[in-house]
Amino acid sequence: MHFFHRTITAALVSASLLAMMLIVSAPALAISVQINGNVVALNPTPIERAGRVFVPLRGVFEQLGATVVYSNGQINATNRRHTISLNIGSTQATVDGQPQTIDVAPFIIGASTYVPLRFVSQALGAQVNWDDSNQLASVTSYGVGGPEGNAPLPPTSGMQLLSNERPLNGAVVRSMEPQIAAQFSRNVDPNSLRIRLDGVDITAAASRSQTGFTYLPTSPLQATVHTVSVRARDMNGQPMSASWTFTSQGNRM
């Protein structure tokens, strides 16, 4: 009887050890990046550091329509709407001329320079979603093969459409649910108004009029850089657009 129990116990222990070995030896999923639904082949591959996804300097951002220049440890990325400046080893950055702070600085491994995917993508006006179970970062870039395609910006574009935007352009706010609002420099057709927050259409949830709009987030925002973009037609039917950015304090992936 004792032999029988010892045999069963040994078998259970062996099975447990085997299961643990299989779990430990199971390879971790590699991090993948999608841009507008298409997986991007990156070499070297993305890596995670301090809970952030970092990608090699070139490849992703050029596909977001940005020109990237690297010189003496300084990284400058520019697209049609935004300009970003970062420095290797520094958590201080500049977005559209406004100082920003990131949690983890860009770094170099071997011959490759790595930058934080979410921070740079959102600063360039894209939206980033993270699927932890599949280790997948999905980037949606509007105006670069995304939901708005490659359509050019309307003829009248820029901050001249907006006044008294809240939070202010480039501001850092503590609230995770800040009021997002702006007044228009001239009257617009409310039915033509389209408002996006980080690429997500929030028009239906916003209070809109000919002279401005107000939106209160329905859930806490992530701690990162956020982009608000506005498109509309004035009362003469002329298209207009503008965008601005603000940062919810923290910059988490």
Range(s) for CATH 3.30.457.10 in the chain? 32-140
Residues of the chain above pLDDT 90, percent:
17
Residues 53-59: contacts with CB within 8 Å, 24+ apart?
Answer: 53/116, 53/117, 53/118, 53/130, 53/137, 53/253, 54/104, 54/106, 54/107, 54/114, 54/115, 54/116, 54/117, 55/114, 55/115, 55/117, 56/112, 56/113, 56/114, 57/112, 57/113, 57/114, 57/115
pLDDT at 143: 53
Compute the average pLDDT of residues 80-85.
84
Q: What is the pLDDT of residues 101-128, one digit of tens each?
A: 888 899 999 888 899 988 888 888 787 8
Compute the average pLDDT of residues 162-166.
82
Compute the average pLDDT of residues 81-105.
88
What is the band of 24 on the pLDDT scale with cuts at 50, 70, 90?
A: very low
Range(s) for CATH 2.60.40.1220 in the chain? 156-248
What is the band of 215 on the pLDDT scale with cuts at 50, 70, 90?
A: very high
pLDDT at 78: 85
Compute the average pLDDT of residues 62-91.
86
- Report yes or no: 143 and 127 within 8 Å, Cβ to Cβ: no
What is the CATH number that goes with domain 32-140?
Answer: 3.30.457.10
Alpha carbons within 13 angstroms on the beta-carbon side of residue 96 total 22
Is the per-residue pLDDT at 239 higher than 70?
yes
Query: DSSP state, 20?
Result: H
Nearest to 213 by CA among 230, 233, 236: 230
Q: Which residue has the higher pLDDT, 211 or 79?
A: 211
Compute the average pLDDT of residues 4-21.
52
Is the per-residue pLDDT at 16 higher than 60?
no
Q: CATH classification of 156-248 is 3.30.310.50, yes or no?
A: no
